[in-house]
A = this chain, B = another copy of it.
Amino acid sequence: MIAISQKHWTGDVAELLRVGDGFVLDDVDPEDTPGYERSKKHAAEDLASGALQLDEYQERLYAQSRVDATRASVLLVLQAMDSAGKGGILRHVVGSVDPQGVSISAFKKPTDEERRHDFLWRVKRRAPEAGMIGVFDRSHYEDVLIGRVRELAPPDEIERRYGAIDRFEKRLTDAGTRIVKVMLHISRDEQKERLMRRLDRPDKHWKYNPGDVDERELWPKYMAAYQTVFERTSTAHAPWFVVPANRKWYARIAVQHLLLEALEDINPHWPAATYMVDAEKKRLAAS
């Protein structure tokens, strides 16, 4: 077993960030750094050392899936308001893992074909294979977030979806997938600053969309929709974690830590050879 380095944490991060009974999103301060009292500079070092652990864990998981009958995988679900830092998580946390062991699925506005199916259809097809770390960049939760805020479906259909999501996630976890659901939580003011920086830099103009401002106007409605999501879908088998994200460096080490814990829970090990090692050495030497 690889021991996850805990030395830089002052508390149980997963416990501090997990959405449990009585959780109130409004009470979370996006500037906060729960369980971490070191500086931004230290966070970069801690992220780098965590990356090595994550990489080895993932390779073990992958190796085991090729040889043993294990079906274990990890699924990171990333949800956030625009500019909250999903891309940075993908680049700096997920990007440190061997790309052969990662599958990223970005869920955008559904295509015509996707709309002709149940909302979970496109999501199920992207569930991670055994041995992989799957990442959902946005997810089925959009269908109860923008779906609710923008009234893209009737209320009873939105209502039905919470239960459908729960059953879907239960089946996935029963089949061996560890699900880590993360909302990156930034403040409305922080978003304004980040969007303004995009407008200030010509090489970032492509990341800005006038629709982003329209969505900002609906901020309180989105926060209410997230609160409902947390109340209805943070379960023992697929808990939500709300990660304060005004400080990008904190969000990155926190999400990395949640992934490390999921892998530690699987505890993958190098699989034993399924052949006679000495006999193969002789065959190979003679070849």
Contact = CB atoms under 8 A, between A and B. Distances in A.
Interface of A: 63-64, 66-67, 87, 90-91, 94-95, 98-100, 102, 104, 106, 137, 192, 195-196, 199, 202-203, 205-208, 210, 213, 216-217, 270-273, 275, 277, 280-281, 283-285, 287
Contacts of A270: 202-203, 205-206
B206 A67 contact: yes
Contacts of A64: 206
Nearest to A60: B203
Given A63-B206, A94-B99, 10 more contacts: A90-B98, A90-B99, A195-B284, A202-B273, A203-B270, A205-B271, A208-B273, A208-B280, A213-B284, A217-B287
A189 B83 CA distance: 52
Contacts of A207: 63
A285 B200 CA distance: 13
Given A205-B277, A273-B205, A210 B283 contact: yes
Nearest to A192: B284
B91 A192 contact: no
Contacts of A287: 192, 213, 216-217
Contacts of A210: 275, 280, 283
A99 B99 contact: yes
Q: Which 6 A-B pairs have the closest CB atoms?
A: A205-B273, A63-B206, A203-B270, A216-B287, A95-B99, A91-B98
Contacts of A217: 287
Contacts of A283: 210, 213
A44 to B, nearest CB: 17
Given A210-B283, A271-B205, A99 B98 contact: no
18 contacts: A64-B206, A66-B206, A90-B99, A90-B100, A99-B99, A99-B104, A100-B106, A196-B285, A199-B277, A199-B281, A199-B284, A202-B270, A202-B273, A205-B270, A205-B273, A206-B271, A208-B273, A213-B283
